[in-house]
Structure 1
Amino acid sequence: MEVTKLLSLFAIYFILLHNQIAFAQVNDQINKVCEKTPNKDLCIQVLASDPLSESGTMSDLAMISLRVAASNATGILTDVKLMIDDPDLEPEVQQGLSDCKETLLDAEGQLEDSIAAILSNAKNDIQLWLQAALAAIDTCDASIPGDDDILSKRSVAFRELCNIAVAISKNLGNDDQA
């Protein structure tokens, strides 16, 4: 009976040790990838927060970063739609928000195209779609008069998330070396 308990404890110990080693390897992979991004801390936060990162493949990490960027774009778009209807806004600002809404819809589509490019292993297309999404947010910012508009902080975050996706997608095909 004691031998059975001892063997069970050893089995549990080895399972836990294996899981800890695998977790350390995933964290090492995320750290290596995020070293190559413009905002390492944000990159680690984004990637480590998703259970899909446990697989540790570059494609999965790129997908995570794109999904977070797309979610951010959707949030900005929601804010823009709410602000457009504000009757107290000046007509130029309302027009700028309307233009911004259109370019954000484009950016969402470009992020979806980036995801499709990952799924079809079209590395060059990913970069093109991400650059188009970044251009769309620049157009959005430029369409709203003034430098301190409400969306500036959100668009900065969107750019950071897209730039993380750009850096990660450059490593696609290098799954064993970040």
Structure 2
Amino acid sequence: MESTRKVLSVLVILAMVTSQQAAPVERRGKELINFVCAKTVNKEMCVEVLSSDPNRSPNADLKDLAIISLRVAAKNASGILSDAKRLINDDKLSPDIQQGLADCKETILDAESQLEDTLAALLVNSMTDTQVWLKAALAAIDTCDASIPGDDDILSVKSVIFRKLCNIAIATTRQSRNQFVNHVLAQTSA
């Protein structure tokens, strides 16, 4: 009887050790930032953006990184909107360009709203919606660019940055979605 109890104790200890070793180690902070950014086209910019929040970045999980990237993209969109508003009233610009700027202003307002919707979807773990809203924000900036002739104006330069920021947000939310799906699948199979 005593030997059976010892064998059972050893088996329980082995099971505990094995289950702890099998549990995935969740990346956080700088390690997670490097992991996520390695999958992006603009790795250096991605690392810079995701490391930019002194409070969240050092111990960030995927949702934190998505929030950081969305906030930076929203700030960029606000800058584009401010520039568009300022340029609309420039009498030196042709009426066609002023109309294009007015159209751009409206689509940037849409993009800002879509980034807010993305954040709301992220906070309630609606991962599919995060991708939909981010893609809508990218479409809005494309519409803005198409409404203004040329590609060397300040708005075009900032819109390139906006696209890169949205792509960083897409990468972080996609990783977050994958992690969420894996978590749900693990819960249902347990």
TM-score, scaled relative to structure 2: 0.77
Q: Specify the SS of the correspondent of 2:175.
A: coil
Measured on the aligned residues, the alpha-carbon RMSD in Å equals 1.6
- In structure 1, the residue matched to 2:48 is 45
1:129 and 2:96 are equivalent in the alignment: no
The equivalent position to 2:85 in structure 1, one of 69, 81, 87, is 81
Contact map agreement 2:77 2:108 (CA 8 A) in 1: yes
- Residue 30 of structure 1 aligns with which residue? 33
Unaligned runs of 5+ in 2: 1-26, 183-190
Q: Distance in 2 between matches of 1:128 and 1:62?
A: 14
Deviation at 1:29, TM superposition (A): 1.1
- Per the TM alignment, residue 93 of structure 1 is displaced from its structure 2 partner at its CA by 0.1
Residues 29 and 61, structure 2, Cα contact 8 Å, conserved in 1: no
- The 2-side partners of 1:25 and 1:143 are apart by 41
Q: CA deviation at 1:150?
A: 2.8
1:54: how far off? 2.4
1:37 Cα offset (Å): 1.5
List gaps (5 residues or longer) in structure 1: 1-23
Specify which of 64, 70, 73 is matched with residue 66 of structure 1.
Answer: 70
CA distance change for structure 1 residues 98 and 47 in 2, over 3 Å: closer, same or farther? same
> SS at the partner of 1:151?
helix
How does the TM-score come out when normalised to structure 1?
0.82
How far off its partner does 1:148 sit? 2.6
After superposition, where does 1:1-178 map in structure 2 within 5 Å?
A: 26-50=29-53, 51-173=55-177, 174=179
Aligned to 1:16: none
TM-superposed deviation, 1:145: 1.6
Structure 1 counterpart of 2:186: none
